Amino acid sequence: MSTIRGARERARVEVTAAIKDEARKQLAAEGAAKLSLRAVARELGMVSSALYRYFPSRDDLLTALIVEAYDAVGEAAETARAEAGAPAGAISPAARWTAVSCAVREWALGHPHEYALIYGSPVPGYAAPQDTVGPASRVGQVLISVVRDAHLAGGLALPPVDPALRPEAARMAADLAPDLPPAVVAALVSAWAQLFGLISFELFGQFNRVVEAREQLFRHAVHELGHSVGLLDGRTSAAADAARA
Amino acid sequence: MSTIRGARERARVEVTAAIKDEARKQLAAEGAAKLSLRAVARELGMVSSALYRYFPSRDDLLTALIVEAYDAVGEAAETARAEAGAPAGAISPAARWTAVSCAVREWALGHPHEYALIYGSPVPGYAAPQDTVGPASRVGQVLISVVRDAHLAGGLALPPVDPALRPEAARMAADLAPDLPPAVVAALVSAWAQLFGLISFELFGQFNRVVEAREQLFRHAVHELGHSVGLLDGRTSAAADAARA
DNA sequence: GTCTATACCCCGATAGAC
DNA sequence: GTCTATCGGGGTATAGAC
């Protein structure tokens, strides 16, 4: 029904896409704080006021870029999960955890400025509207689903949990994954932040002059992070199977 | 000798400090990308060209702020280590590790914009000069020293290390802490990045609507991070290994 | 070391003609 | 939906008088 409409609608979609493309280039050159409608218009051969027919304000354009970035990294994570045999393929959940993590890192390395837009310092004076919270949760949802698969297959160890953290762990579990043990959910939220800590340090230059073999360090660290949420690697998984049999 | 000099020198120091103070306020209001010499001058009742006698360019002012921020967080970490009984006081290295981590987090919560300046997205168009690398390493040095104390006291378990990571672990150890086992150094670098990942997620808003008891989650996570580098608290080395497996 | 003045740029947003 | 024109800001940096 709405696949083919008038030429106006098609043109509008194309111009909107061109604006966002150019804005992404500016993001790379100048950063989100200096994203300017005028510069985008100039580069597109338009006049600045014409852009307001597509985006009512600079912040709306920024929001569109943020949503697209979250969607892109979320899709990268979802694709990696699928290719690594979700929901319960031949590949172990631990390997799927690593595959998803590596996919997120690779997306970040390939789109450093979009990564900085969503996982770096907040843009001063910009308040994220509600539209961003759904897309922002996609990567987290993928990580949860990988751990859930392991849980359903009985291949999940229970991480230790500090008694002081128990109420919060229960609250987070109720919110995020009621079917998982609270200890796992708490460990998962920590691991989620730590995963992005590794990526951010690499991307934001903290590893300069410190780490050289960054992919190896990353793979090793996320493997250990998988353990921290209770995922078992191949050997212990086999041992668990043996114990069960 | 140089403690008391002419009034000109004193005035210069005071004005320089006032400029940096005002610049820090602007950092909070507008972000590093929009830090402007003119606005600083305006607020100080000076004329913009007068500032160039103190800082030859906007980037030099930014560099001064970055160095001061690294020094401030480094000092917070060093103070926490001292208060927690360095180099080999009554308090366990694991507790010292947590104390240092919490001190860094508290500094970050108290100085969010300075934190974003040094650990957030890089400022577009700004290249950090060599002056920043020394101050930037202070927190890392504190973490290393805490682990070193544990090592000297014989209270350090050997973290597992992926064979693929061994050459890089050896290289990093030679660079950063030749007296520590490479496996420990590799785990330390990972833990360092993960620690800041936890702080950045909290500060940059990723925990909004997800985590409420943030201090509890943080303490629990850094406690586990301590284990990941080999620090033992109550448990024996064997128990720690078992917990990890 | 501070001042005025200046050159030469940038921005977001709107009004109203076409 | 695009245009011109405009309002009312903002910026870095330098020259040269005092």
Does residue A117 sit in helix, strand or coil?
helix
pLDDT value of position B30 = 86
Instruction: For residue range B193-210, list pLDDT tens digits in order.
Output: 999 999 999 999 999 999
- Selecting from A33, A140, A193 the residue whose C-beta is nearest the C-beta of B34 gives A33
What value does the mean pLDDT of chain A take?
A: 90
Q: Identify the band that residue A236 occupies on the pLDDT scale cut at 50, 70 and 90.
A: very low
pLDDT value of position A177 = 98
Rounded CA gap, B2 and A5, in Å?
Answer: 78
Chain C bases near protein Cβ (<7 Å): 1-5, 10-16
Q: Does residue A42 lie within 7 Å of nucleic acid chain D, judged by its CB?
A: no
Q: Percentage of chain B surpassing pLDDT 90?
A: 70
Three-point CA angle A199, A201, A206, nearest 5°: 155
Closest to B117 (Cα-Cα) out of B203, B17, B227, B12: B203
Is it the case that residue B110 has pLDDT exceeding 80? yes
Rounded CA gap, A198 and A105, in Å?
Answer: 9
Rounded CA gap, B124 and B113, in Å?
Answer: 16
Q: Identify the band that residue A90 occupies on the pLDDT scale cut at 50, 70 and 90.
A: low
Q: Percentage of chain B surpassing pLDDT 70?
A: 90
| 8 A C-beta contact, residue A157 and residue A129 | no
Rounded CA gap, B92 and B84, in Å?
Answer: 9
First to last CA, chain B: 60
Lowest model confidence (mean pLDDT) among A40-44, A57-61, A241-245: A241-245
Most confident segment among A137-141, B29-33, B235-239: A137-141
Q: Identify the band that residue A11 occupies on the pLDDT scale cut at 50, 70 and 90.
A: confident
Is it the case that residue A89 has pLDDT exceeding 70? no
Rounded CA gap, B8 and A124, in Å?
Answer: 37
Q: Give the mean model confidence (pLDDT) for residues B85-107.
A: 87
pLDDT value of position B134 = 95
Three-point CA angle B40, B45, B47, nearest 5°: 70
pLDDT value of position B205 = 96
pLDDT value of position B150 = 95
Q: Identify the band that residue A86 occupies on the pLDDT scale cut at 50, 70 and 90.
A: low
Residues of chain A contacting B244 with CB distance shorter than 8 Å: 227
For the CA of B100 and the C1' of D14, the distance in angstroms is 48
Name A156's bridge partners: A231
pLDDT value of position B127 = 85
Six-digit token string for A218? 């990353």
- What is the residue whose two structure tokens read 């202070």? B138
Lowest model confidence (mean pLDDT) among A6-15, B73-82, B214-223: A6-15
Pick among B30, B175, B190, B207 to test the A interface (most A CBs inside 10 A): B190
What count of residues does chain B have? 245
Chain D bases near protein Cβ (<7 Å): 1-5, 10-16
Does residue A101 sit in helix, strand or coil?
helix
Q: Which residue is nearest to nucleotide D2 (CA to C1')?
A: A50
- Selecting from B121, B195, B224 the residue whose C-beta is nearest the C-beta of A204 gives B121
The answer to whether the CB atoms of B204 and A160 lie below 8 A apart is no
pLDDT value of position A65 = 95
Q: Identify the band that residue B29 occupies on the pLDDT scale cut at 50, 70 and 90.
A: confident
Rounded CA gap, B159 and B185, in Å?
Answer: 10
Q: Give the mean model confidence (pLDDT) for residues B28-42.
A: 90
The answer to whether the CB atoms of A217 and B190 lie below 8 A apart is yes
Q: Give the mean model confidence (pLDDT) for residues A118-130.
A: 91
Q: Give the mean model confidence (pLDDT) for residues A132-159.
A: 96
Residues of chain B contacting A220 with CB distance shorter than 8 Å: 161-162, 164-165, 186, 190
Pick among A130, A162, A190 to test the B interface (most B CBs inside 10 A): A190
- What is the residue whose two structure tokens read 């590093």? B32
| Identity at A90, one-letter amino acid code | A
Lowest model confidence (mean pLDDT) among A28-37, A92-101, B63-72, B80-89: B80-89
Q: Give the mean model confidence (pLDDT) for residues B207-235.
A: 93
Is it the case that residue B177 has pLDDT exceeding 80? yes
The secondary structure of residue B234, as a DSSP letter, is: S
Please state the three-class secondary structure of B60-89 as a single string. Answer: HHHHHHHHHHHHHHHHHHHHHHHHCCCCCC
The answer to whether the CB atoms of B201 and A193 lie below 8 A apart is yes
Is it the case that residue B240 has pLDDT exceeding 60? no
Q: Residue B149 CA to chain centroid, in angstroms?
A: 20
Is it the case that residue B236 has pLDDT exceeding 60? no
Rounded CA gap, A226 and A233, in Å?
Answer: 9
pLDDT value of position B237 = 45
Is it the case that residue B221 has pLDDT exceeding 60? yes
Is it the case that residue B48 has pLDDT exceeding 80? yes
- The torsion angles phi and psi of B79, rounded to 5 degrees, stand at -65, -40
Six-digit token string for B64? 């001064």
Helices (H), chain A: 7-30, 37-44, 48-51, 58-83, 93-110, 112-119, 133-136, 138-152, 166-176, 182-203, 214-228, 234-244
Pick among A118, A194, A204, A235 to test the B interface (most B CBs inside 10 A): A194
For the CA of B143 and the C1' of C10, the distance in angstroms is 45
- What is the residue whose two structure tokens read 């350090």? B156
pLDDT value of position A7 = 73
Of residues A166 and A84, more confidence is placed in A166
- What is the residue whose two structure tokens read 């030099």? B60
Lowest model confidence (mean pLDDT) among A102-106, B46-50, B106-110, B213-217: B46-50
pLDDT value of position B9 = 74
Is it the case that residue B15 has pLDDT exceeding 60? yes
Q: Is the dihedral of CA A17, A18, A21, A22 positive or negative?
A: negative
pLDDT value of position B112 = 96
| 8 A C-beta contact, residue A37 and residue A26 | no
Residues of chain A contacting B116 with CB distance shorter than 8 Å: 121-122
Is it the case that residue B2 has pLDDT exceeding 50? no
Is it the case that residue A209 has pLDDT exceeding 80? yes
Closest to A119 (Cα-Cα) out of A70, A80, A77, A81: A70
Residues of chain A contacting B170 with CB distance shorter than 8 Å: none
**Peptide bond before B122: cis, by omega within 30 degrees of 0?**
no
Residues engaging strand C (CB under 7 angstroms): A 35-39, 42, 48-49, 52, 57-59; B 8, 11-12, 15, 46-50, 53-54
For the CA of A3 and the C1' of D15, the distance in angstroms is 63
HSE at residue A180, side-chain half, CA atoms within 13 A, is 34
pLDDT value of position A1 = 44
| 8 A C-beta contact, residue B159 and residue B184 | yes
Six-digit token string for B96? 């010292």
Bin B181: left if φ > 0, else alpha if -120 < ψ < 50, else beta.
beta
- Selecting from A34, A165, A227 the residue whose C-beta is nearest the C-beta of B33 gives A34
Is it the case that residue A227 has pLDDT exceeding 60? yes
- Selecting from A31, A162, A217 the residue whose C-beta is nearest the C-beta of B223 gives A162
| 8 A C-beta contact, residue A183 and residue A161 | yes
pLDDT value of position B13 = 87
The answer to whether the CB atoms of A210 and B175 lie below 8 A apart is yes
Radius of gyration of chain B (CA): 21
Rounded CA gap, B205 and B193, in Å?
Answer: 18
Of residues A241 and B132, more confidence is placed in B132
Is it the case that residue A244 has pLDDT exceeding 50? no
